[in-house]
Amino acid sequence: MHTIAIDALGISQPGGGRSATLNVLKTLLRQGDSYRYLLLLDRPEPELAVGEHVHQAIVPLRQRILARSWAQLAWPFLFRRWRVDLVHYMRGVKGIALPGRSIVTVYDLTVLLYPEIYPLVDVLYWRFLQPRMLRKADRLVAISQETAKDLVRFYQLPRERIRVIYPAYDPRFRPLPRDEVAKVCLWYGLGQRFLLHVGSLSRKKNLLTLLRAYEHLVHRGYKGQLALVGRLYGKGYDAAFFDSLAQSPVRERVLLLGAVSEGDLVALYNGADAFVFPSLHEGFGIVALEAMACGTPVIASRVGALPEVVGDAGVLLPDPRDAEAFAEAVERVLYDREARQSLVSRGLERVKRFSTVKAAEETLALYSELLA
């Protein structure tokens, strides 16, 4: 029986990367029981303990750089002990000079598109070291056509070595009964009306534009709140947003909820008037998929892979920094009942294209190809 090692270090951090990785892995490990799996993690994941063919190896360090350094030293011995035939680096970081065939999943190249919003060390890594690592991989998995194009554009990688495998949403994201939704929203201090943003609190998410758009809406009579779900992302700290928020006339109506449980997040999507997402760039944008699966209209920027995900099932705006246009788009969704219902229906239909079964089958086919 072949043994496949899967590097999923870092998925303990809440966010789109965790969701995209876990959603596929849970199905893949159940479908692919003809292989043995060695999961490389920074903490145990009970949802991935699906059988005797799966073993979780936990890195004993939590700090990101220290954990990676420890793994670089320990994994060659671990791979030999387990007779690993293939390594899938699912978090986009390939080990240096580690033996065996390999696949690397790449989420996005935002750091090369917007270097000004990232630390210099990250820019240098993605500009000079990452392409060397990726060229040594046997195959690359891009999570969207947009990311695949960027890999060719920035790194001149052969397109035939790149497979596009879309992430999928968890089926738990679905429309819920109103009373169940109301209880969760009340617990978080939310009223009957609010706009929802889900994502890290970072410069990439363009939250200053969202704040300005919300101020326009309140000025024109919108009575709801603005809820921001997501952890503070230190490397992309958005000082301009937080400074503006502190002085904003709507400060008391903007709720910073931090990271929330998946169960609560489903309810928050359901309770929102709309999901608002003016991001500067996305390699996929799984949160937009989750919102549509819950029957919530999506207003987002037409950047990166968001058109691939949302298609005609949401409102996509060409300029992510145009706060006035964003406010006007939200108003149309709020007050045009027919347009709103059309978006809801199209969203519920569109998400059917992104199933965990399809993503797992395509990943297993790639494993089979390399192990043949």
Please give the Cα distance from 351 to 36 (Å, whole number). 31
Nearest-10 crossing angle of helices 262-271, 286-293: 70
* Portions of the chain given CATH number 3.40.50.2000: 3-168+355-371, 178-353
In this prediction, residues 92-98 reach a mean pLDDT of: 68
Least confident of 55-69, 151-165, 294-308: 55-69
Least confident of 2-16, 33-47, 62-76, 81-95: 62-76
What is residue 97's predicted lDDT score, i.e. its pLDDT? 60
What is residue 260's predicted lDDT score, i.e. its pLDDT? 94
CA 144 to chain CA centroid, Å, is: 12
pLDDT(353) > 80 = yes
Superfamily of domain 3-168+355-371: Glycogen Phosphorylase B; (3.40.50.2000)
In this prediction, residues 163-169 reach a mean pLDDT of: 95
Q: Which CATH class is domain 178-353?
A: alpha beta
Percentage with pLDDT > 90 across the chain? 78
The residue among 34 and 366 whose pLDDT is bigger is 366
Helical H segments across 164-233, by residue range: 178-187, 207-219
In this prediction, residues 240-248 reach a mean pLDDT of: 96
What is residue 99's predicted lDDT score, i.e. its pLDDT? 67
Please give the Cα distance from 350 to 347 (Å, whole number). 5
What is residue 91's predicted lDDT score, i.e. its pLDDT? 81
Percentage with pLDDT > 70 across the chain? 98
Which two structure tokens, joined as six digits, stand for 169?
């949403």
Contact 86, 99 (CB under 8 A): no
In this prediction, residues 64-88 reach a mean pLDDT of: 84
